Amino acid sequence: MRRSAKLSAYVLVFLFAIACVAQRPGAGVAPFISENVPVFAITHVRVVDGTGASAKDDQTVVVANGKIQTLGPTASVQVPAGAKQIDGTGYTVIPGLVGMHDHLYYTATAAMQRDANGRLGEPGLFVNEIPYTAPRLSLAAGVTTLRTTGSVEPYTDLRVKRLIDQGMMPGPKLDLTAPYLEGWPTIFAQMHSLTGPDDARRLVDYWADEGMTSYKAYMNINRADLAAAITEAHKRGFKLTGHLCSVTWHEAITLGIDDFEHGPVFTATDFVANKKPDTCPSGRDGTDSWAKLDINGPQVQELIRDLVSHHVSVTSTLPVFEMSVAGRPPLQQRVLDAMAPDAKLSYLTLRARSAMPEALLKKEMEFEHAFANAGGLLLAGPDPTGNGGTLPGFGDQREVELLVEAGFTPVQAIQVATENGAKFLGQQDKIGTLAPGKQADIVLIKGDPSRNIVDIENVETVFKDGIGYDSRKLIESIRGQVGMR
Ligand SMILES: [Zn+2]
């Protein structure tokens, strides 16, 4: 008894010591900061400003107190006396990426619990929260703002945001999405099933009060619950997106939804023959219906018109679909190095089994390009789930590369991943493009992603509000840990 009391006293002192260390502001981020002066200029640098405009060579960007002060040709920009100068020769700057499907969790493992018939055993599918590695990897890859797009550990997410905002943890600015608004049945152990419209309103209000700033409806929600959730979210001033199945895109547009996740080929059930209302069709009925559709045909064109005229966005998540295509994407050492041993084994096992027809991925790409060309607001994010090969941050870069494969020019693809997300979040006056007066969220990249989009992987320094983070050090700090913490 006495001994255990003494022991708990030690534990308390120990925890108090940890708390004191943890509360020193900046202690958690200092090791990763490579540039921290109030006024600096990046000179002779190529600028891709995020508006879709062509790249401009030999520019100078002046940053003062966390904001972009001046940006223009090196020959005409006056660098303030005493400003630190960073030589940008051979480098490109782009705006910080605005990741719009960037969970703080990750696929747990390929080795799921199975019952005697091979079916998923109770309590159902679960995923691993990765609150330590996801913010670091995201920031390292150039993501300075992200939407979590569905939470499985809401109080962890809230804590991560608070610590990042206080400068105690490296990471992007977070738009936290509440726990999923899901119906019944769900295969996910970590999701609540709504019991009706009152429950939907109750949860929207509860999570808004707790600090969440966006919502996501999921595959088995019904129309009544979705309608209640959308109305309540809008009352609180927040947007609601959906990865739907039981409710069609046309139905959700009518109910006032703001955004659709993943694009339609893997989620929109509008064209499934004999679809029952409020029911997610079984198996591959949805994708099969899309396999037969012509993107230029009347049905898809009408859907695009419906989306554009109602100002409903679509979030592209090409990397998570690419994972299911045999032999794609190229296996990267940096991805494997970041993974925990079990995550790596699991990913390589599932990768070897990938067998999705590439034509489905191409069809999704074709839709996204057509939607954007028709004036739709296309957003971008990796969705770090699937077979485990899509990592936070690295996946955001891959998304931009895949948009180029889909037919966007490199500067257009960068615009989708920067300005478009900022517009959706209503923050285009602060982030998403490089211009005087904007927050200095700037990614310094070696090479020229405006010509060779793969150069977007060569991030060296990521400025968030004018403070520069060393990408390499952030990546090194999570080596071997993605999937575990
Ligand atoms: Zn997702």
What does pLDDT average to in each consecutive run of 10 residues of the chain (485 residues)? 55 51 67 96 98 98 98 97 97 99 90 86 92 98 98 98 96 98 95 98 98 98 98 98 98 98 98 96 91 97 98 98 95 97 94 94 98 98 94 98 98 98 98 98 98 98 98 98 95
Strand 173-175's sheet: what is its strand order? 97-99, 143-147, 173-175
Give the three-class secondary structure for 460.
strand
Distance CA 96, CA 114 (A): 42
| Sign of the dihedral through C-alpha 311, 200, 150, 218 | negative
Residues with CB under 5 A from ligand 1 (ion): 383
385 Cα: distance to centroid of ligand 1 (angstroms): 7
One-letter identity of residue 93: V
Who's near 135: CB < 8 A, 6+ residues apart?
A: 104, 160, 164, 169, 170, 171, 172, 392
Give the three-class secondary structure for 304.
helix
370 Cα: distance to centroid of ligand 1 (angstroms): 23
pLDDT value of residue 2: 53
Distance CA 330, CA 95 (A): 26
103 Cα: distance to centroid of ligand 1 (angstroms): 7
Give the three-class secondary structure for 347.
helix
344 Cα: distance to centroid of ligand 1 (angstroms): 20
Half-sphere exposure of 181 (CA within 13 A, CB side): 37
Name the CA dihedral angle for 361, 365, 368, 374, rounded to a multiple of 10 degrees.
-140
Residue 6 sits at φ, ψ, to 5 deg, of -65, -40
320 Cα: distance to centroid of ligand 1 (angstroms): 9
Residue 131 tokens read as: 């609150």
Minimal CA–CA distance to 312: which of 372, 377, 368, 364? 377
pLDDT value of residue 104: 98
Enter the pTM of the model. Answer: 0.94
Distance CA 460, CA 364 (A): 32
184 Cα: distance to centroid of ligand 1 (angstroms): 18
472 Cα: distance to centroid of ligand 1 (angstroms): 27
pLDDT value of residue 118: 86
One-letter identity of residue 233: A
Minimal CA–CA distance to 224: which of 247, 207, 190? 247
Give the three-class secondary structure for 463.
strand
271 Cα: distance to centroid of ligand 1 (angstroms): 22
pLDDT value of residue 8: 60
